[in-house]
């Protein structure tokens, strides 16, 4: 989902064309990376960016009302890290929530990792099937990354690939990826054992798989804001946010991308424009009581966990709420005009999912026929 005024290049990889046809909507990750970089470069915005820099700490000074950031750039000054601080009027947190992998607590897993840390990884670290050629692999998870990983291992890893799923599949894709004859679905793991270097995975139904070479977790990510010590997280979400963007306790603090299933990148644009106009004093937030009520109503509807931040299926309502809050710049005033939500965006989004499902169905049918 591209930005409203900046189109994603129509460069299509040979692999994507082979899998989805000449009009494939999917792009290689290098194309998307260049697209994002070009957004900064096109108007000289790169001069406003500190590259290769981490925010070590961000705290608001209660006396000045300013945000004080401690920054670090590694390897500068003859190999030494360079540390410095800067002060800002407002802070927009856009670091996302797909950085710190979530690994479930499983009896015996710590001992396994201590003995052979490279045999357990998260899909964030997965870079293709070659490393696992001829190896016995167990994948864990039932959503996007776990499905893609399990399917990509077919033909490289030992057959079958053992896929641990709880029965709760991605709502967009279902279980089609896991229906392949070379994938053996298993229930949740009860424990693992690495005694005498005999690595065995035990499942809740009493079965087990021995001589396992790798366990790959596709179990999602967890919210982590180590540089914001005064902003807590709860149940894998950030509490006290209005519209998933504006912190109710501090009008100078905003978050972008604190949502799930939300039409990337387009939803970021809507959030960014709304946040920019509020912080610039061009748009006004409702009273605090109304912001708090919005959150409480959503907790009652979605729960106080990860589902709270999932936009699906309320795309139109959410996009239009942000657009109305942002308003339009006055004549001659800088700023972006957000267009009304279009059903075509959601139709294209869903059509992409349907193509992936057809890809898996075709592969499953071909594999089943080859076994006859």
Taking only the tens place, the pLDDT of each residue in 247-259 is: 999 999 999 999 9
* DSSP conformational letter for 265: T
Segments of the chain scoring below 70 in pLDDT: 76-77
- Predicted local distance difference test score (pLDDT) of residue 167: 76
- Predicted local distance difference test score (pLDDT) of residue 261: 83
* DSSP conformational letter for 167: S
- Predicted local distance difference test score (pLDDT) of residue 55: 98
* pLDDT tens per residue, range 296-316: 999 999 999 999 999 999 999
Task: Return the residue matching tokens 């797909």.
Answer: 98
Q: Report CA-CA distances (Å) from 72 to 83, 87, 91.
A: 5, 14, 17
- Predicted local distance difference test score (pLDDT) of residue 76: 66
* DSSP conformational letter for 53: E
As given in the structure block, the two tokens for residue 311 are 């936009």
**3-class state of residue 90 by DSSP:** coil
Task: Return the residue matching tokens 């990792």.
Answer: 113
Ranges of H-type helices in the chain: 14-20, 29-41, 109-115, 144-153, 266-279, 288-302, 315-326, 343-370
DSSP characters for 234-265? BTTB-SSEETTTEETT-TTEEESS--BSS-TT
Q: Which domains does the chain have, with CATH numbers?
A: 14-98+223-351 (3.50.50.60), 100-221 (3.50.50.60)
**3-class state of residue 352 by DSSP:** helix
As given in the structure block, the two tokens for residue 241 are 């946010």
- List, in order, residues 6 or more apart from 143 with CB less than 8 Å away: 169, 170, 173, 218, 220
């Amino acid at each position: 989902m591209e930005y409203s005024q900046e189109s994603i290049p129509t460069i299509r990889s040979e692999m994507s064309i082979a899998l989805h046809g000449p009009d494939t909507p999917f792009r290689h990750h290098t194309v998307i990376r260049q697209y994002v970089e070009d957004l900064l470069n096109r108007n000289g915005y790169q001069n406003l960016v500190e590259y290769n820099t981490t925010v070590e700490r961000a705290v608001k000074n209660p006396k000045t009302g300013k945000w004080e950031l401690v920054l670090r750039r590694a390897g500068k000054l003859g190999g030494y890290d360079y540390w410095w601080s800067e002060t800002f009027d407002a802070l927009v947190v856009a670091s996302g929530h797909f950085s710190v992998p979530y690994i479930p607590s499983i009896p015996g897993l710590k001992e396994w990792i201590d003995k052979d840390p490279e045999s357990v990884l998260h899909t964030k670290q997965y870079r293709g099937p070659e490393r696992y050629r001829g190896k016995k692999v167990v994948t864990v998870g039932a959503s996007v990354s776990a499905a893609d990983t399990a399917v990509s291992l077919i033909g490289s890893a030992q057959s079958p690939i053992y896929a641990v799923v709880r029965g709760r599949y991605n709502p967009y894709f279902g279980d089609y990826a896991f229906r392949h004859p070379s994938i053996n679905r298993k229930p949740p793991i009860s424990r693992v054992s690495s005694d005498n270097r005999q690595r065995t995975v035990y499942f809740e139904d009493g079965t087990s798989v021995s001589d396992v070479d790798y366990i790959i977790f596709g179990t999602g990510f967890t919210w982590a804001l180590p540089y914001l010590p005064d902003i807590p997280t709860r149940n894998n979400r950030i509490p006290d946010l209005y519209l998933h963007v504006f912190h109710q306790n501090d009008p100078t603090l905003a978050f972008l991308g604190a949502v799930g299933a939300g039409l990337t990148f387009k939803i970021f644009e809507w959030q960014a424009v709304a946040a920019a106009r509020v912080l610039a004093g061009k748009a006004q937030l409702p009273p605090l009581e109304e912001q708090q009520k919005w959150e409480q109503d959503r907790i009652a509807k979605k729960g106080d966990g990860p589902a709270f931040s999932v936009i699906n299926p309320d795309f139109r309502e959410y996009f239009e709420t942000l657009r109305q809050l942002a308003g339009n710049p006055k004549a001659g005033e800088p700023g972006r005009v957000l267009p009304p939500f279009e059903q075509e965006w959601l139709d294209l989004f869903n059509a992409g999912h349907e193509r992936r499902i057809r890809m898996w169905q075709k592969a499953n049918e071909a594999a089943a026929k080859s076994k006859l």
